Amino acid sequence: MGIYLNPGNSGFEQICRGEYVDKTGLIKLVNQRIDGSDNLLCISRPRRFGKSYAAKMLAAYYDRSCDSHELFDNKMISHSKSYSAYLNQYNVIYLEITSFVSSARRQGISLQEVPNMIVNALQDELLSINPGLPEGKNLTDLLICLVEKSGGKPFIFIIDEWDVVIREVKDDETAQKRYMDLLREWFKNGNFTPKVVAAAYMTGILPIKKDGKQSAISEFDEFTMLAPFNFAEYVGFTEEEVVDRCAEKGMDYEEIKAWYNGYDFPEVGAVYNPYSVMNALKLRKCRSYWRKTPAAESLKSYINMDFEGLQATVARLIAGEKIQVSADGFQNDFETFESADDVLTLLIHLGYLTYHEEEQLVQIPNEEVRMEFRQFLSQKKVNTGWITLIRRSQRLLDDTIAGNSDDVAAALEEIRGEQYAPQYYNNEQALRAVVKYAYIAAFGRYVRIEEMPSGKGIVDVVFIPVLSSGLPAMVIELQWNKTSGGAIAQIKNKKYTAALKPFVSNILLVGINYDEKTKVHTCKIERI
């Protein structure tokens, strides 16, 4: 048992001592590919989506140096026909690439040397654990010798955070090439005789870097946040798993859903950020549990570059819109950006946007992620385009609260004409999109709810303030080719304020109308 060669099952055993949600069904999917032509897998997920948990689980299951029956006999995988056939039957090479990068940085070694560090560490450990192996052999020969020595038992490679080199040396093409060449050497079909690789499972944030238009290691099947296919239920927690956990902990499922739901895949439906859900249940409080990373920090600079009006696009996302994105051109790295679509695709892989594959649309998934975007907007070091939008929106919000209806109407005219110009401004839905965008400064102080059932109907837009803020609740009714006064009358007649009892003494009624003939917005505001 070693660090890299057959590391045992202690890592997964430690995970199981906690409140582990059974994701061992993933093992069955990997078992189906062992020794096949499709035995190389690359699974990319955002940070804190359980990638390392899955890697430790697989290592514990396949590692022939230990007995893992006690860990898996009561898990979902034990019901699979392949369970016993593959349990503890393979040599495992387990690599956490982050540890090599960290070691190089501590020692002041260029990250170009990381491939050599990996090879040397494996060679040294193979020789120390297996004294019968011949000295002076390269790593490939040592692997072949070990397969022969173990009666033909090939290796399963498990590589955690495989892409950290690509992310950390984003401007060093030589370092990236040397690392990718090492992976090609290991996993190019037919490289080893006898067969050394039974399967490989790589996990990271990014898909495999492209070489031109194709993956640089084309033999791998990839399952990403764009298209996880049958691995979708292992992206995070499914809705059923979250409902069960909330019931166990006595937590409000709807609150958990609002904060952490939003990733949606056709194969399984809703998927939740597991790290955040577990923290919310443990601490019994919903909040943002994501931690800032260098990747997220650098992303801010890309947004500020404003590729093809990217700032306006992000503002529309924050306002709740879905945006069309073409993800095909993204090169799967942090330095090759040629369009706004490339930056938005990176945001999908980082978990800041969710992707609807059939429509090729993206949106911000949930309240936790919206907080990250709001934090970005609140910073002083943002592009002047953001500053102009936020100042204009803040003025609009202040005028609304003050009851300055003419100024609100004028601001909507400005924002639609100068900053937000939908291709077709021809119905109430288009008006609603402009209103959502215009009130972007309300995020953080208000929770916006669209089409909220209340009284005798459904309100177009409601802004509910944070309880401690002292701000008024706002009920906004939109009309097209009618009158703003008629919108106010509808709010009253249908008792749209009925669901806002905590704010009964501090509610604004806002009626907004757009007239297609005059091309003019009008507004009327009343305070209850």
Report CA torsion sign: 485, 490, 491, 492.
Answer: positive
**Residue 508 pLDDT > 90:** yes
CATH dotted code for 10-223? 3.40.50
Helix (H, G, I), strand (E, B) or coil at 375: helix
pLDDT at residue 194 greater than cutoff 60: no
Residue 131: the pLDDT is 84
pTM of the model: 0.84
**pLDDT above 60 (res 289):** yes
Identity of the residue numbered 519 = K
Contact present, 117 and 103 (Cβ < 8 Å): yes
Helical axes 274-283 vs 239-249, angle rounded to 10°: 10
Domain ranges of the chain: 10-223, 234-283, 294-377, 384-527
Please write the tens of the pLDDT for every residue from 167-177.
Answer: 888 778 888 88
Question: Which comes out higher in pLDDT, residue 292 or 206?
Answer: 206
Spatial strand order in the sheet of 155-160? 91-96, 155-160, 197-204, 40-44, 221-223
Q: Report which of residues 319 and 467 the model is more confident about.
A: 319
| 3 three-state secondary structure | coil
Q: Tell me, what's the pLDDT at 379? A: 65
Residue 261 has pLDDT above 80, yes or no: yes
CA distances from 421 to 416, 430, 431, 437, 482 (A): 5, 10, 11, 11, 22
Phi-psi bin for 212: left (phi > 0), alpha (psi -120 to 50), beta? left
DSSP secondary structure string for all residues of 112-157: GGHHHHHHHHHHHHHHHH-TTSPTT--HHHHHHHHHHHTTS--EEE
Residue 422 clears pLDDT 70, i.e. is over it? no
- Token digits for 372? 């990250």
CB 361 within 8 A of CB 322: yes
- CA nearest to 42, candidates 223, 232, 181, 205: 223
User: Do the strands 210-211 and 221-223 form a parallel or antiparallel pair, or are they unpaired?
Assistant: unpaired
CA pair distance 113, 343, nearest whole angstrom? 29
The topology (CATH level 3) of 384-527 is: Trna Endonuclease; Chain: A, domain 1 (3.40.1350)
Mean pLDDT within 41-69: 95
Residue 293 has pLDDT above 80, yes or no: no
Q: Is the pLDDT of residue 421 over 80?
A: no
Candidates 72, 35, 358, 38; CA nearest to 226 is 358
**376 CB neighbour count, 10 Å cutoff:** 18
Neighbour count for residue 515 (Cβ, 10 Å): 15
Mean pLDDT score of the chain, rounded to an integer? Answer: 88
Task: Check if the beta carbon of residue 65 is closer than 8 Å to that of residue 156.
Answer: no
Average pLDDT of the segment spanning 4-22: 95
Cα(first)–Cα(last) distance of the chain, in Å? 72
CA distances from 509 to 27, 113, 429, 477, 513 (A): 56, 65, 19, 8, 13
In whole angstroms, give the CA distance from residue 162 to residue 184: 13
Q: Would you say 118 and 100 are in contact if contact means Cβ atoms under 8 Å apart?
A: yes
Q: Edge to edge, what strands does the sheet with 473-480 contain? A: 446-454, 457-465, 473-480, 507-515, 520-527
Tell me the two tokens of residue 497: 């304020």
Contacts of 279 (CB under 8 A, 6+ apart): 289
Cβ pair 469, 443 in contact under 8 A: no
**155 and 143 Cβ atoms separated by less than 8 Å:** yes
Higher pLDDT pick, 213 / 44: 44
% of the chain residues with pLDDT over 90:
55
Instruction: Answer whether residue 470 shows pLDDT above 90.
Output: no
> pLDDT tens for residues 369-407?
887 777 776 665 666 667 777 788 889 999 999 999 999
Indicate whether 212 pLDDT > 70.
no
User: What's the rounded mean pLDDT across residues 53-57?
Assistant: 97
| pLDDT tops 90 at residue 63 | yes
